[in-house]
Amino acid sequence: MTDARKDAAEAIALHALGWMAGNAPVLEAFLGATGAAPEDLRARAMEPGFLSSVLDFLLTDDACVVAFCDAAGLRYEEPMQAAMVLGGARHRHWT
């Protein structure tokens, strides 16, 4: 993986985290699902594993993916592509 791909994936995840922070119901669901506390958001925002969990959570709901991508000006497949870069083998399709 190139540094540019990793940087681009992290940028998408950070943007997704910012989008979630501005959407209280989504943020509350993320915090509840991950066990993270609000203060963890800044403290862990540069950890690849945490950023991967942001994208993993986002990808659980198609409506969230669409809303985020529409707000961010991204193609709908970009969060999944970013998750694949950050998550490594965990996100590879089995076929």
d(CA 71, CA 48): 23
50-94 confidence digits (pLDDT tens): 999 999 999 999 999 999 999 999 999 999 999 999 985 455 554
**pLDDT tier for residue 48 given thresholds of 50, 70 and 90:** confident
10-45: pLDDT as tens digits: 999 999 999 999 999 999 999 999 899 999 898 999
Tokens standing for 77?
Answer: 């497949």
Q: How far is CA 25 from CA 7, 51, 56, in A?
A: 28, 19, 17
Q: Could you tell me which residues come within 8 angstroms of residue 6 by beta carbon, excluding any fewer than 6 positions away?
A: 48, 85, 86
> pTM of this prediction?
0.87
Report the pLDDT value the prediction gives residue 81, as an integer from 0 to 100.
94
